[in-house]
Chain A
Amino acid sequence: MQFGIFTVSDVTTDPTDGTTPTEGERIKAIVTIAKKAEEVGLDVFALGEHHNPPFVSSSPTTTLAYIAAQTEKLILSTSTTLITTNDPVKIAEDYAMLQHLSDGRADLMMGRGNTGPVYPWFGKDIREGIPLAIENYSLLHKLWREEFVNWEGKFRTPLQGFQSTPRPLDGVPPFVWHGSIRSPEIAEQAAFYGDGFFANNIFWPKEHYMRLVGYYRQRFEHYGHGSAAQAIVGLGGQAFMRSNSQAAKAEFRPYFDNAPVYGHGPAMEDFTDQTPLAVGSPQEVIDKYAGMRDHFGDYQRQLFLMDHAGLSLKTVLEQLDILGEEVVPVLRKEFATNRPAEVADAPTHASLVAKRDAALAADAAVDTTV
C-alpha cells in the first residue's frame, strides 16, 4: 500500500492574514513539500497540471525531475496529466525522460482536468473531451510499447515509422492511472487496458466514488486482467490535524469557510460528515481512512491533499509531520491486517520489469516445448 500527497498547485490568499505567496514562492514551496513528503516516510508525490491562474503547475515534468534530483525513494506522479490537450507524442517522450532521470520513480495519472477553456489554448475542441482522451491514450500506449509506430487517428496528423525517444526505461512503460470523478467511459478505459483507476474522493460523498470504483473493478475482471478484487485502485483524501480535535477544527475553519471549492456553503461539520474530509486529531483521521477499504475494497494508493486553500508552507510542513509520523504508520498496519494475498501492491518500475521478465521467460519456455 502506497501513501502520499497530491497537490493542485493553487496560489490562494491565506484568509487568516490576507497574505498571498508569489508564483515563485509557491513553486519553491511545492518542491519543499515534496522533499518533506519523502523525509516523513511517504511514498508518492503527485502534481497537477494547470494552465491558468490561480494555479502554477503548467510544466509537471520539469518540476518532478527537479524533485527527483533531490530525493531518493519518492515516486513522482501526476494528478492529473491532461491526456486531452497534450500531444500524446510529447507525453510519451516527457515521461520516458522523467522515468530515466528518476531511475524508474515515475508514473502518471491521466485526466481531463477541470478547466473547460484549456482546450482551445492547445488547439483542441472542448466538445471532444472524451474522444480525445480515448484516442490520445491509445496512441500513447502504442508509442511506449512499439518501437516504430504507424498510426492514423482523427485528432492529429498520422505517424509513419515514428520512434519516440527516449525509449521507456528498461523497455517498460511507466504505470498509468486514469482519474475521473464522474465518467464511466474513463473507468471503462482504465479497465480495458488493465491500468489503475484513481478516484479523487474529495469534495463529494464517498458513495459517489464507491459506485464508480465498483464499476471499474467489475470491468477490470470482464477484460480478463484479474479478479475485481485485484483491480488497481487509488483514492484521494483530505485531512487537517492537530493534537486535539478542537484545535484542528478552530484552526482549519477559516480555510474551510473560504476555500475555493466548497467555501461559503455548508458548515464544516456537515461537510466532514458527508465527505472524506477529516478535520480533527490524528486518531480521528486514522479512523476515517482505515475505514475506506471497507467501502472501496483493498486498494493500492492513498493520496492526501494537504496544501491548498491558502494554508501557509509552515502549516503544511507541520501537517506532513503529523501525517507521516502519527497517521500513516498506523494506517499501514491497519491496511496490512487481513489484506487478501491476491491483492497486489501498486505496480512500481521494479515490479513491472519483473512481471515483463517473467512473461518473457514463460514465452521462451513455451517456445522450447513446441
Chain B
Amino acid sequence: MTVIELRDLAHDVTNNLLTGFPSAKLDEAIRAVTGADGLIAVTPIFTTSYSGLFKSFIDILDPQSLADLPVLLGATGGTDRHSLSIDYTLRPLFTYLHAVAVPTGVYAASADWGGGGESGSSTLPTRIARAAGELAALVAVSDRSDRVIDPFALPEGFSPSGSFRA
C-alpha cells in the first residue's frame, strides 16, 4: 500500500504540465498509481468539483494507463450538498480512462465528522466498509501489477515502407 499526497508533488505536477516530463519523485508516484492493482482516489470538492491539483495529476497520466484499474472514489467537502459530486465529476473522469470505479463512492462532509450519522441513513464507517468490500473483490482478481507493457509496440498491421510485410 502506497500513500501519495499530491500536495508534496504540487510543484512537480505543475512543472510536468509545462515541460512534458515528470521529475524523478513524480515519476515514482505515477508508476505507483499506474502499476497498481487497486486505487483509492480521494479529493476535496472545491466549487462543485475535484480540486485543480487532483485533475492536474490525472492530466499528466497516459490516458491508457488506468485501464482496468479498480478504483474507489472518495471525496471530502464542507457541505453534504456536494455529496453527488463523486458521481457527476469523479465517476465520468474515471469512466473516460476506462478504470473500473466501484459503485459505492465515499463522501465525507462536516456532518459526518460532527455527528454520528443520522438514523435511517448509512454512516461514514458503513459506507467505507461497503466501498472497501467492493474494491477488495476487484483487487483480489487484478493482474495489473504483473503486466509487462511494451512502450514500442507498433500498431497492428504497421509496415515501415507502406507495402512491405515482414
Q: Which residues of A contact B (CB under 8 A)?
A: 131, 134-135, 138, 153, 184-185, 187-189, 191-193, 203-205, 208, 211-212, 215, 261-266, 270-271, 274
Contact = CB atoms under 8 A, between A and B. Distances in A.
B164 interface: yes
B21 A265 contact: no
Given A203-B19, A265-B19, A188 B158 contact: yes
Interface stretch (B76-84, B113-121, B122-130, B148-156): B148-156
B162 A134 contact: yes
B47 interface: no
Contact of A188 (B24, B154, B162): B154
Contact of B20 (A188, A189, A191, A203): A203
Given A134-B161, A270-B23, 4 more contacts: A134-B162, A204-B20, A204-B21, A274-B24
Contacts of B24: 274
A262 B19 contact: yes
Contacts of B151: 184, 211
B160 A266 contact: no
A271 B18 CA distance: 12
Interface string B10-30: 000011001111011000000
B162 A153 contact: yes
B152 A205 contact: no
Nearest to B155: A185
Contact of A135 (B19, B23, B162): B162
Contacts of B14: 265
Nearest to B21: A204
B49 to A, nearest CB: 25
B51 interface: no
A261 B19 CA distance: 7
Contacts of A215: 152
B163 interface: yes
A262 B23 contact: no
B19 to A, nearest CB: 5
18 contacts: A134-B160, A138-B162, A184-B151, A184-B152, A188-B160, A193-B160, A203-B20, A203-B21, A204-B19, A211-B151, A211-B152, A215-B152, A261-B19, A265-B19, A266-B18, A266-B23, A270-B15, A274-B24
A262 B159 contact: no
Contacts of B18: 262-266
B160 A274 contact: no
A192 B162 contact: no
Given A184-B152, A266-B15, A274 B162 contact: no
A274 B23 contact: yes
Contact of B21 (A134, A153, A274): A274
B152 A138 contact: no
Nearest to A186: B160
Contacts of B153: 184
A192 B161 contact: yes
Shortest beta-carbon contacts, A-B, top 7: A265-B18, A192-B160, A184-B152, A189-B160, A266-B15, A138-B162, A265-B15
Contacts of A265: 14-15, 18-19
Contacts of B159: 134
Contacts of B154: 184-185, 188
Contacts of A212: 152
A193 B14 CA distance: 40
Nearest to B158: A185
Contacts of A191: 160
B164 to A, nearest CB: 7
Contacts of A264: 18
A262 B155 CA distance: 31
A314 to B, nearest CB: 29
B40 to A, nearest CB: 29
Nearest to A136: B162
Contacts of A192: 160-161, 164
A356 B162 CA distance: 26
Contacts of A184: 151-154
A266 B18 CA distance: 8
Contacts of B164: 192
Contacts of A188: 154, 158, 160
Nearest to B160: A192
Contacts of A187: 152
A274 B27 CA distance: 12
Contacts of A211: 151-152
A264 B15 CA distance: 8
A137 to B, nearest CB: 8
Nearest to B161: A138
Nearest to A181: B20
A299 B134 CA distance: 54
